[in-house]
Amino acid sequence: MTDRRLLLVNGPNLNLLGTREPAVYGSDTLEDAEELAMHAARARGFDIRAVQSNHEGVLIDAIHAARHDCAGIVINPGGLTHTSVVLRDALAGVALPVAEVHVSDVKARESFRHHSYVEDIAVVHVIGLGVAGYGVAIERLIDVIESDGGH
């Protein structure tokens, strides 16, 4: 059943997890985050399609494609969280439930990181739990999907 799939989106610079500012982001890699997400999803009978890109258009194309075969989207937009209206519009446009996840506590960092363009459309927010937050976001989003279809 194709609607038992989630799209996992990781934005710019998340390919550097594990080496980029380990004091802020920890030593876990993007591969670790994706494996954790896949394990959490499989435990609930869901599949994951993962995409990471440093290019906004690639992420938007993946979000648009998700409307055909995914039940929801888990996204760590990276720096696009604070700058991208078009990424927000893509998420709103596909009308799928969204979980926003951030490895660091963006609300405790620089003031420009306090605003999220995704925050008001996401039904789940997991902030500052490190890579473990991916598993939590998957579980919470599946709870939403299974309880009310994500609406």
Question: Which residues line the annotated binding site for substrate?
Answer: 76, 82, 89, 103-104, 113
Grouping H, G, I as helix, E, B as strand and the rest as coil, residue 66 is helix
Please, which residues bridge with residue 127 across strands? 102
> For the CA atoms of the chain, what is the radius of gyration?
14
Q: Please indicate whether residue 151 is annotated as part of the active site.
A: no
Among residues 55, 64, 102, 125, the one annotated as catalytic is 102
* Options 25, 55, 64, 134, the catalytic residue: 25
Cα–Cα distance, 47 to 21 (Å, whole number): 30
Binding-site residue set? 76, 82, 89, 103-104, 113
Q: Confirm whether 134 is a catalytic residue.
A: no
Burial class (CB in 10 A: 0-12, 13-18, 19+), 120: exposed
Residue 58 and residue 91 in contact, taking contact as beta carbons nearer than 8 Å: no
Any idea which residues carry the catalytic annotation? 25, 102
